Amino acid sequence: MKIFAHRGFSGDYPENTLPAFEAASKLPVEGIEFDVQRTKDGVLVVHHDEKIHRTSNGKGHLKDYTFSELRELDFGSWKDKKFKGIQIPTLGEVLRVFKDTHHLLNIEIKTDVVDYPEIEQAIMEQVDYLDMTDRVIYSSFDHVMVEKLLRVAPNNTTAALFEKILVNLHEYGEKIGTKHLHISLNAAKRGVIREDIQKGSIFRVYTVNKIEDYDAMEKLGVEAVFTDVPDVLLKHRKNKS
């Protein structure tokens, strides 16, 4: 079962920042997950929440800031004072961290709350420019976006994200055109996906931080887990082998 570092090595570093990604790039995990949004002046940046108050000393929606305004903010101190002054990274900066590594990159496109017209095209252009297309999984809670990606880039791996516990996910995936489905740990623990896996759906589960949950997902047959503590799960996996 594959391990993806969720928002980089977010257990030990501020999530979705260059230190978190640089630390994750040195780990033998299979993949890295991160989120992309767009600034007021059109710069693609890596950040999870639509609002910035949780992870910075700013407030309000990210979309209402220019890139230079965001760069003036502190995106590290919320985690620990030793990370004071860490800046929000651009998509290009994050991609370049992994340009010469082995890692798969799961790029979550954040359009389910804020509408970023044509953001998927801008993201794909940067990925293609760096010749990293075959290493990228696109995902989104916005299933209209998922369908659009499947149309404009049918050779790309695109996954539908789900927050709630649902049934018949395999049939839903077939309807929108993807077998790649990303679901919450709570949903996966209900066991409703066992039959979907047998039908050929590929599941990746977020966010798995406990060893017992890792073992349960492995037993269930999911393809990968997203974790904030990749070091813990890597050690556990190595000890099991």
How many other C-beta atoms are found inside a 10 Å radius of the C-beta of residue 228?
A: 20
Q: Are 139 and 104 in contact (CB under 8 A)?
A: no
Q: Is the dihedral of CA 64, 67, 69, 75 positive or negative?
A: positive
* Residue 6 annotated among the catalytic residues of the structure: yes
d(CA 210, CA 208): 6
Helix or strand or coil: residue 176? Answer: helix
Catalytic residue among 6, 47, 170, 180: 6
Catalytic residue among 48, 103, 180, 182: 48
Amino acid at 49: D
Q: Please calculate the CA angle 5-181-127 and round it to the nearest 5 degrees.
A: 55
* Residue 47 annotated among the catalytic residues of the structure: no
> Which H or E element spans position 44?
strand 44-46
Helix or strand or coil: residue 33? Answer: strand
Residue numbers annotated as active site: 6, 48
